[in-house]
Amino acid sequence: MIGKSKWFSPRKYTGWGLTPVTWQGWLYIVCFVAPIAILSSVSIDQNIKNTFTSIWIGIFLLDILHIMTQMKKDEREYLHEAIADRNALWFMIFVLLISVFIKQVIDPIFVIALVGATLIKAGTQFYLRDK
């Protein structure tokens, strides 16, 4: 695709994604963000803006995903990432449960999120146990 994995490093402390580490990485980000910023200041039909922006962001996300799959990680980095993701998930589940108890109204979206996370975790555990 367009970007190269050596221009970026995995984001470790501020969420998920990539952090530019070279000037090429920063230029890559600017070249994807600048057209959207310019387009927002131009007065043209809103449908054209929305279509272009959606396509441009789609290309950007596909390229970022491609870059992320090309990055080399060792076993220790995978383990650290898994532990961090697990801890973040537990925090999100805790907050969802607190919001259900505070509202005292069960929102179907929260139930879907909690049940879905439980099913995905169980499925992953079964898959990894049998592998």
- pLDDT tens, the chain, 131 aa long: 688 888 888 776 655 678 888 999 899 889 888 988 888 888 888 888 888 889 988 998 898 888 888 887 778 777 777 777 787 788 887 877 787 778 766 677 777 877 787 787 777 777 777 76
User: What total number of domains does the chain contain?
Assistant: 2
Of 72, 90, 106, the one marking the end of a domain is 72
Residues 6+ apart with CB under 8 A from 7: 20, 21, 22, 24, 25, 28, 67
Query: Are 113 and 60 within one domain?
Result: no
Of 55, 72, 89, the one marking the end of a domain is 72
Query: Are 64 and 33 within one domain?
Result: yes
Query: Are 11 and 68 within one domain?
Result: yes
Distance between first and last Cα of the chain: 33
Query: Are 57 and 85 within one domain?
Result: no
Contact 3, 19 (CB under 8 A): no
Full-model pTM: 0.57
Task: Identify the pLDDT of residue 13.
Answer: 62
Task: Identify the pLDDT of residue 46.
Answer: 84
